[in-house]
Amino acid sequence: MNKKEYFGSFGGQFVPETLMAPLAELECALKSALKDSSFKIELNSYLKNYAGRQTPLYFAKRLTQMYGGAKIYIKREDLCHTGSHKINNTLGQVLLAKRLGKKRVIAETGAGQHGVATATAAAIFGLECVVYMGEEDIRRQALNVYRMELLGAKVIPVTSGTKTLKDAINEAMRDWVTNIANTFYVIGSVMGPYPYPLMVRTFQSIIGKETKQQILAVEGKLPDYVIACVGGGSNSMGIFYNFIKDKNVKLIGLEAAGAATLSKGSVGYLHGMKTYVLQDKYGQILGTHSISAGLDYPGVGPEHSYLKESGRAQYFPITDFEALNAFKMLAIYEGIIPALESSHAFAYLPKLAPKLSKDKIIVVCLSGRGDKDVDSVLAVLGRNK
Amino acid sequence: MKNRLAQFIEKQKQTKEKALIVFFTAGYPNMDATEKLILASVNCGADIIEIGIPFSDPVADGPTIQYASEYALKNGATLAKALLVVKKARAKTQVPIVFMGYMNTFVAGGAKKSFASISAAGVDGVIIADIVPEENKAVEGILKKYNLAQSMLVAPNTPAKRMSAIANKTTGFVYVVSVSGVTGARKGFSIDITDYLKKTKAAILNKARYVGFGVGSAKAAKALAPFCDGVIVGSALINIIKEKYPKSTWLNSVCNLIKNIKKAIK
């Protein structure tokens, strides 16, 4: 299938009819905005002067020495305003919402980072903002709930299903169907019906674009590996995209073992897309279990399904235990407290870096900072390590 | 050979009588009750039975059907068990039966195998809530092969030209979604509903137009009936079951609403 809505055989628009008109409207607005230099100038100005781009590519000297193999570079998306890469996407989408004259934006959130980034972008432009969040996630990411409220957003607890990210998406989609006339749905990952996966990847691909320029400037060559965590898959798609054509750069995505959609799932239909999902034999979507709320999702962006199937990228599961170890390592060796989501990417380093020679280069995407997770980690690890 | 749904729609063109379609979630509150509901509904005047196949992530459904779906799934409801209910009911009734659900539950374990078994059990058609014409290639050939009529949906924001195209793809009835929103009984409709229904009449030729989403009472059904070929009632019936089951009067209470609506749309 070569239809524009698809990545290989994945993607599409598996939605109720009511959403087809707003999806067409969105596609049209996106196309015209991306051709419009004033849109690009405005977005780039916010990315630079407000969100703090470009983010550094940092050589992790002690981590490199500790593993004793390949050189490790860290792409510092944790230094973006609001504390994660999510702002790259929400600034783009909220500018589009403004362009379409929508007065209200809605979002789903798992860990709360996308909710915070949406609330932030909505605040800049004075738009009403409603964020759907699973009751279970509200409990474990309380800090981010309060941050969203401080930013003027209304956080609505979702009590249906598994009370996590997938159910928050269901509820946001229901809100959107009901309020299409005045509402723009800001999806937080490279998922959902077309054109969302394309749009979010477009806004996030700045991560990989910068990384490529930065590594070429420092090392004079491309990295051997680019690695990133995958929940829905926006930071990974963002850093992967500009390296897809560079066949010698290996792309590796790390999933939470309790939500390892690509490593353990099968093809299905969820949230408007055909993609890998975790499901039982009856086609019911399974609950997921990860210490990291942002990776607790039984689906994945369709472009990742395509990268997996075509063999261009590889995906591996990381356990909670491995992620927590990586979390501690980064704090102790590099003075960085990473998000638990991003810790999954770092957890692959002990399996990879020591096996590689010292002239090899690994770039890890540090998608967010870990302040929000300190309570959860304390609850698991306690004070005495 | 025309299936029961096609035969009913053909006959309706002559009689001009308005159709009443009733919806129940398979396995809510249990599969025995679903069988009883099918048979009782026919006796009380329902023309077509729509059986919802519960899905873990029903994005087109409001709180009532979400609740019924979650309840049924917790009780172990599956497509196969719903098919057993239909097989048993088929010994006693030839009422048209359609399954409504979501793509993922319909095609789990293979679309061909799944639709073949749906057809073999005596189901006449399907409504797939998250399929639009652009994606229909994924199922249309198989549905045709197994003589399952596919009813597709139009919504208030569907442009007229697109309505006609959807009607052309439809091999059952056109499911006219009454509101921008999810399923669920509502207090009333916006004032422009008749304009919208007139628009669907002009755009949709030679296909039955049944209106659903939010038809919660005999009064609402009566108001809509002159502008369509039939009404679909779901959440209102499920609300009664939720309130009354397992009191001895539960089935009668469901039947009373069906009778009242049937009377109202005559």
pLDDT tens digit string along A81-94? 999 999 999 999 99
Of B17, B35, B47, B50, the catalytic one is B50
Q: Which residues of chain B have a CB within 8 Å of the CB of A16?
A: 59-60, 129-130, 153, 155, 177
> CB-based contact (8 Å) between A285 and chain B?
yes
Q: Which residues of chain B have a CB within 8 Å of the CB of A158?
A: none
pLDDT tens digit string along B59-116? 999 999 999 999 999 999 999 999 999 999 999 999 999 999 999 999 998 999 999 9
Q: Which residues of chain A have a CB within 8 Å of the CB of B70?
A: 160-161
Which pLDDT score is estimated for A1? 46
> CB-based contact (8 Å) between B10 and chain A?
no
> CB-based contact (8 Å) between B35 and chain A?
no
Full-model pTM: 0.97
Indicate the pLDDT class of residue B185, thresholds 50, 70 and 90.
Answer: confident
Cβ–Cβ of A283/B107 closer than 8 Å? yes
Classify burial at A65, counting beta carbons within 10 Å of its beta carbon; exposed 0-12, middle 13-18, buried 19 or more.
exposed
Which pLDDT score is estimated for A140? 83
A128 to A19, A118, A120, A151: CA distances (angstroms):
21, 10, 11, 11
Cβ–Cβ of B155/A18 closer than 8 Å? yes
Which pLDDT score is estimated for B189? 80
Query: Mean pLDDT in chain B?
Result: 96
C-alpha distance from A6 to closest chain B C-alpha (Å): 11
Tell me whether 0.90 is exceeded by the ipTM: yes
pLDDT above 70: residue B170? yes
> CB-based contact (8 Å) between A111 and chain B?
no
Please say if B57 is a catalytic residue. no
Q: How far from the centroid of its chain's Cα atoms is residue A171's Cα?
A: 19
Which pLDDT score is estimated for B245? 98
pLDDT tens digit string along B230-246? 999 999 999 999 999 99
Indicate the pLDDT class of residue B250, thresholds 50, 70 and 90.
Answer: very high
Which pLDDT score is estimated for A2? 56
> CB-based contact (8 Å) between B133 and chain A?
no
**A170 vs B57, B103, B177: nearest CB:** B57
Q: Name residues of chain A where pLDDT drops below 70.
A: 1-2, 384-385
Cβ–Cβ of B57/A20 closer than 8 Å? no
Which pLDDT score is estimated for A79? 98
pLDDT tens digit string along B148-168? 999 999 999 999 999 999 999
| H-only helix segments in chain A | 20-35, 37-49, 61-67, 86-99, 113-125, 135-140, 142-150, 165-178, 196-204, 206-219, 234-240, 261-264, 302-310, 320-334, 340-346, 349-352, 374-381
Which pLDDT score is estimated for A384? 65
> CB-based contact (8 Å) between A281 and chain B?
yes
